[in-house]
Amino acid sequence: MKETDPTGRIDGKTRLLGLIGNPVEHTLSPDIHNTLARLCGLNLVYVPFPVESGKLGDAVRGAWALQVLGLNITVPYKQEVTAFLHSQDPLAAAVGSVNTLVREADGYKGYNTDMSGLLRAMAEDGVSLEKENVILLGAGGVGRAIAFLCAMKGAAHVWLLNRNEKRAQEVALEVNRTVGRNCVTAGNLEQWRELPKGSYLAIQATSVGLYPDVTRAVIEDSAFYGLLHTGYDLIYRPGRTRFMALCEQAGARAFNGLRMLVYQGVEAFELWNRTAVTREQAGQIYRMLSEKLTENGK
């Protein structure tokens, strides 16, 4: 595709995209979307918008009035924003979390490209959820969404382990009721010792190990990692977490969350612009972010 002026010229035809959250100062999303706009030859600019608590509805309505083409939503508003949407994609409605707003004739439609981005990242890495036995660590907002995703995409079973077992039980009950099969079992983090013998895919969906707290893993016992064939850590700062190191030491494959970050952005960009981002372009974004994080020591 023909590239636009690399200086990033803005004129009267420039369309606006953005990110709503609090905080948003350290986001990598402008790097993703402004680079994609250049690569795809589209006259767009993407900026972060910090929105104070209690002002989310005002922000969404204001964006609509200002003809903002689309928005990403990040913490703490991924659930709250659903009250201000015209409609939702079925996956977003099922998981109860929205990270992308797409402008339509009567309002914004909500999508969850975190989950579709994770699927696309996993496919790139040769990992599938279908018929897989999954250990999911963490039952917070992201963990809850991934539990739904695993169930909806045909995982054989999900063992949802969380520090707060009651929270895990609530999520498991909700998912099982929604999908109509008992495919999620809840427990606390120590109950990995009671899992049936087998080979598992583990998805690490907690904040343990996130920069700058890089020396910890949510489970430290090396015997746990001997159960795994693959470990997916949704953290991408640092690029190699302690969870990943423990996976690799036990002979399992290990991946971080950077490719998921790239593909959730790619999927949002495609929805906003009714265009397709090539695998090569996504690869350029991945390499750019990898280099940036390495340069920053993260």
Catalytic residues: 78
Distance in angstroms (rounded) separating the CA atoms of residues 172 and 148: 9
Q: Ramachandran region of residue 131, left (φ > 0), alpha (ψ -120 to 50) or beta? A: left
Let me know: does 40 contact 281? Beta carbons within 8 Å: yes
Distance in angstroms (rounded) separating the CA atoms of residues 281 and 183: 37
Distance in angstroms (rounded) separating the CA atoms of residues 170 and 160: 11
